[in-house]
Amino acid sequence: MIGIGTNLVTCPLQPSLGCVYKLVEVNGSPCLKLTEDEEKMTIPGMKTIYRLYDAAGHPFMDLMALEEEPSPSAGQELGIRVLGRLGETTTVIPSTVEPLHRTYFRDGQVCEPLPSLPEVRTHAQLSLSLLSPAHRRLHEPQPYPVAMTERLHRLFLELRQGSR
């Protein structure tokens, strides 16, 4: 497989949109892009994502899980791995759990009506307004963490170690 960089196919003086498509599963088998830069590695398998909220109603983390994993529950302690700090396990207890993953297309067909642009804008504005002030502030905002479940992390490690 070969990847062509944006600067090779466009003039650097012209605006371009950098996009990346990363394969995470082939014929039902999870796969992983290997690279020295951990931030550029893919996270394998079909996933779903949840937004975890604290008792004040602020989202404090988004959590990736394998699609077949049971949904996390409010009040349930979760062992997670935060991206960028995968070497350490952290536990969190969300007060509320919101599933974020929606499937709009399946097998090339629309399976759920697409929201209008005003609906998308309203949803984005509401989501931003719910962030804690520490995440919203313009000067030195607190990074908003994204994490993975322990099960997804084990799959990630198995594939990374198995390809060495």
Per-residue pLDDT at 61 exceeds 80: yes
One-letter amino acid of 157: L
One-letter amino acid of 27: N
β-bridge mates for residue 29, sequence order: 26
Average pLDDT over residues 100-128: 93
What pLDDT sits at residue 25? Answer: 85
Fold entry, domain 6-101+140-163 = nicotinate phosphoribosyltransferase (3.20.140)
Task: With CA atoms as reference, report the closest residue to 24 among 3, 1, 2, 46.
Answer: 46
SS3 95: coil
Per-residue pLDDT at 94 exceeds 80: yes
Domain-wise residue ranges, the chain: 6-101+140-163
Per-residue pLDDT at 11 exceeds 70: no
Lowest-pLDDT choice from 58-72, 118-132, 150-164: 150-164
